[in-house]
Amino acid sequence: MCSEKKILILEDEIITALFLKKEFERRGYSVLPVISKGEDLFETVKNNMPDYIVCDIELAGELNGIEAVRHMKKDFDIPVVFLSGHMDMDIKKVAESLNPLGFIVKPFNFSQILYLLEQ
C-alpha cells in the first residue's frame, strides 16, 4: 500500500475509470479526478503532479493516450502504465518508445497494474 502516492487515471470508459478509482482508493492511493481526454493530461499533470499515470490508449478527443503522454513527457517524467483494448503490435511499439512501466491489454486483472506500480 502506498498511501502517499497520487494516481492520475486517463480513461474515457466510465466503468473502467470507476473500477480503477475504487481499487486504487481501496489500497490507499490518492486518486486525482479522472480525465477522459488526452488534451487535458498536460495541464492536469502540471497542476497536480501525480506519482503515476494509468492511461488508456484510445480516448475521447483529439489526442490519443500515446500522443498525450508524448506531449507530457517533454516536461514531466512521470511513470505511465498504458491500457489498451487492442493488442496491436505497431501501437505497442510506439507506446513502448515512451518507456512506460508497462502495457496491459483489456480486460485486465487489477493486480497486473499494482505489480507494475509497486515493483
Per-residue pLDDT of the chain (119 residues; tens, 9 = 90+): 555 899 999 999 999 999 999 999 999 999 999 999 999 999 999 999 999 999 999 998 899 999 999 999 999 999 999 999 888 889 889 999 999 999 999 999 999 999 999 98
Helix 89-96 and helix 65-73, axial crossing angle in degrees, nearest 10: 10
Is the Cβ–Cβ distance between 11 and 64 less than 8 Å? no
Superfamily of domain 6-118: Response regulator (3.40.50.2300)
Is the Cβ–Cβ distance between 9 and 35 less than 8 Å? yes
Specify the pLDDT at position 88: 83
Specify the pLDDT at position 87: 80
